[in-house]
Structure 1
Amino acid sequence: MAVVLMDDKEKWDDFIEKSPYGLLFHKWDFLKIVEKHSNQRLLPYGIYRGENLICVSPLFFKKEKELKMVFSPPPQMGIPYLGIVMSNEYDTLKQNKKEGFLNVVADEIVLEIKNYAPNYIYFSTHPGFLDIRPFRWNGYAVEIYYTYIIDLNGSIENIWNGVTKQTRKDIGKTNERIRLENNKSVDIFYKIMVDRYREQGLNYPIISASYLKDLIDTFKNNISLYFAYCDDEIVGSCMVVHYKDRYITWMGGAKPKNNIHANEHITWELIKLAKSGGYTKFELQGAGMRNLCLFKSKFNPSLEISFGLYKKDTLGKIAEWLYLNFKRKKWF
């Protein structure tokens, strides 16, 4: 097998489009926007078997003084999944060939990463890509992440009946009070989210409003921003990513006000939009956070898992601790 740094946008995007593991986050222009705003070097690796491209792996490299890091995705970009993307051929193979296929891919990627001598390595996987054993065998530690999925293949009536009775009542009360509008007011959205996180003593984990603007301008057909209004006041917002069969509630939220159930209204309206748009999976992120599960589970989702893979030496551990306890946590 051959490992190369790719520079062919068309070939890369065609691979992502055909792979069942390819997401909007993997698209070439998305990665270049991330490179621009993260100030990290994009390493768009492709792995070939003969003439056939069998895997791509977008990595990002950053060096700060003596600290060298490899990410996929980088922090502060809001990207839930990146890591490796296997070809559409992979799922058609018998298990023994799958394992041989993946073992070689993992070994090649691990070897390439070693060339950068990083102190800290982190990458995440697509939900449904379950076999991360080759990375464990290469010394990577593993974290399990959870997300909620609502199957949209059934009728909208069946999906509605799966929602808890109390939530259906709450949504019914909002129909005449709350309206949901699609617009591009990224600055307003970003300020709302910054203020919301600040109330909790946290930094908003997205690097800038200009990053989100670039994404929305580039992917007008795949990223949408919605605001919920009650009496002309914004009571909630949500940025969604819709690509292939998947509709992801990417970021956003609502601050409870006078018990108007803005979050319930937003979620149900987006479910209806996703269903009418022909999407088959509606993703409610945040299933790994206990304080969010009570709300999100009201919509009768199922669980999907993904993995975070990481390796760090002593310097990497110190850098991670400083990031988690200072840069990410508090406003000073």
Structure 2
Amino acid sequence: MGVEIERVKETETWNRLVERSPQTCLFHRDEALSIQADHTGADVHRLVGYVGEEPIGVFPLFELSRGPVRLLFSPPPELRVTYLGPALLNGGGLKQRKRERRQHEFIEGCFEWAKSAFNPRYGHLRIHSCYEDIRPFLWNDCEVTPSYTYLVDLTQGTDDLLMSFSRDARSNIRDAAEASYTIEEGGRTAIYDIVEQVDRRYARQGISYHVTPAFVTELANSLPEGAVRPYTLRIDGEFIGGLIALDDGETVYRWQGGVRSDTSTDVPVNDLLDWHVMTEAIDRDRSAYDLVGADNPRINRYKAKFNPELVPFYNVEHGSTVTTTLARAYQWVRRLA
């Protein structure tokens, strides 16, 4: 029996399938997909693969237009969404041959559905490392390029975790006088302060930044409680720095923020923020802290002092040489920072 592809519109049906897959993230949820579509002017197609009545995979696709050219994305560009793409379910008990055939038919079927529905000239996917078998994309004439992120193991407990850090990180965390600063989890105001600080920092560096406080606030209001966690560090009540973490119940993601402060201070702002996020995540029994990106040598020098594991994820492109070159030249594809 082959794989049939259907477009699902019911929120409860989609989220139930997302929750059953070990390969999904917060951005796969129905409410997050709708918010991403609204903020990029895209149409979202929630595709599900079935073998008979058994669901075997989900694949959210975003349809965008640039002039006369139709484009396919997952996740959509410019929102700095960490990972999206396809996710499989109900494959744990299958033998390897059947698992491979099912996955190949699912990916191929989704691409055929997209071709029939809107015939994209170019496609770009960013897929988490937990989606281990990327061969079906190669078999469908896609170009697959690895990128990297860092994962900090939180299962070792706070004492062992701190001892695994570099000497300067340990000193920054231990020696900071707690009375000189406060770190709190905030709400809408914290989101605004953090996003605006990142925007100013990137503007000075000539980096495009299209994440808005409204986008992040809508995610915070729509996703399950505690999924979006904005942390701010203040000195004498003044906002100095912050970061927005995402929590999917297993992994916490260092999503936005954590940039150099606008205010000159001797307080190691980002070391303290990251440590606070990690210790709170440990208290919630989370297993990993994703530092979200490890492809920038300058930023890597900071992230690597937390002794993380280097983990790949995958950028998948599909299109002619001409359309792929145009997509890159016109920055239709925004890289993960």
What band does the TM-score fall into relative to the shorter chain? over 0.9
Deviation at 1:296, TM superposition (A): 0.7
Give the match for residue 133 of structure 1. 135
Deviation at 1:324, TM superposition (A): 6.8
Give the match for residue 226 of structure 1. 231
> Which one of 252, 269, 273 corresponds to residue 257 of structure 2?
252
Give the match for residue 211 of structure 1. 215
Structure 2 CA distance for aligned equivalents of residues 301 and 286 of structure 1:
12
Contact 2:154–2:286 (CA<8 Å) still a contact in 1? yes
The DSSP-based 3-state class of the residue aligned with 1:75 is coil
Q: Find out whether 1:108 has 2:106 as its counterpart.
A: no
Give the match for residue 308 of structure 1. 315
Deviation at 1:316, TM superposition (A): 4.5
Deviation at 1:285, TM superposition (A): 1.2
The DSSP-based 3-state class of the residue aligned with 2:267 is coil
Give the match for residue 194 of structure 1. 199
Offset from partner CA, 1:277-299 (integer Å, 9 cap, x none): 11111111121221111111111
Contact 1:120–1:317 (CA<8 Å) still a contact in 2? no
Deviation at 1:132, TM superposition (A): 0.6
Deviation at 1:63, TM superposition (A): 1.7
Offset from partner CA, 1:259-316 (integer Å, 9 cap, x none): 4211111111111000001111111112122111111111111122111111123245
Contact 1:254–1:262 (CA<8 Å) still a contact in 2? no
Give the match for residue 46 of structure 2. 44
Offset from partner CA, 1:202-226 (integer Å, 9 cap, x none): 22142x3211111111123210111
One-letter amino acid of the structure 2 residue matched with residue 214 of structure 1? E
> Superposed, which structure 2 residues align to 1:7-46 within 5 Å?
7-46=9-48
> Which one of 147, 162, 181 corresponds to residue 178 of structure 1?
181
Identical-pair percentage:
25
Q: Find out whether 1:162 has 2:167 as its counterpart.
A: no
The DSSP-based 3-state class of the residue aligned with 1:90 is coil
Structure 1 CA distance for aligned equivalents of residues 332 and 43 of structure 2:
23
The DSSP-based 3-state class of the residue aligned with 2:330 is helix
Structure 2 CA distance for aligned equivalents of residues 237 and 127 of structure 1:
27
Give the match for residue 322 of structure 1. 330
Q: Identify unmatched segments of 5+ residues in structure 2.
A: none
Structure 2 CA distance for aligned equivalents of residues 312 and 83 of structure 1:
17
> Which one of 268, 274, 277 corresponds to residue 270 of structure 1?
277
Q: CA RMSD in A?
A: 1.8
Deviation at 1:104, TM superposition (A): 1.0
TM-score for both structures, normalised by structure 2: 0.91
Structure 1 CA distance for aligned equivalents of residues 177 and 139 of structure 2:
53
Contact 2:47–2:58 (CA<8 Å) still a contact in 1? yes
Contact 1:4–1:45 (CA<8 Å) still a contact in 2? yes
One-letter amino acid of the structure 2 residue matched with residue 100 of structure 1? R
Structure 1 CA distance for aligned equivalents of residues 169 and 192 of structure 2:
31
One-letter amino acid of the structure 1 residue matched with residue 143 of structure 2? A
Structure 2 CA distance for aligned equivalents of residues 280 and 307 of structure 1:
22
Contact 2:77–2:332 (CA<8 Å) still a contact in 1? no
Contact 1:145–1:307 (CA<8 Å) still a contact in 2? yes
Aligned length: 325
Change (3 A) 1:21 1:111: same
One-letter amino acid of the structure 2 residue matched with residue 102 of structure 1? Q
> Which one of 73, 78, 83 corresponds to residue 71 of structure 1?
73
TM-score for both structures, normalised by structure 1: 0.93
Structure 2 CA distance for aligned equivalents of residues 269 and 244 of structure 1:
17
Structure 2 CA distance for aligned equivalents of residues 211 and 267 of structure 1:
23
Structure 1 CA distance for aligned equivalents of residues 297 and 100 of structure 2:
35
> Superposed, which structure 2 residues align to 1:141-152 within 5 Å?
141-152=143-154
The DSSP-based 3-state class of the residue aligned with 1:323 is coil
Contact 1:67–1:315 (CA<8 Å) still a contact in 2? no
Contact 1:174–1:262 (CA<8 Å) still a contact in 2? no
Offset from partner CA, 1:8-63 (integer Å, 9 cap, x none): 21111111112111211100011011111111000111110000111010000012
Give the match for residue 64 of structure 2. 62
Structure 2 CA distance for aligned equivalents of residues 249 and 159 of structure 1:
17
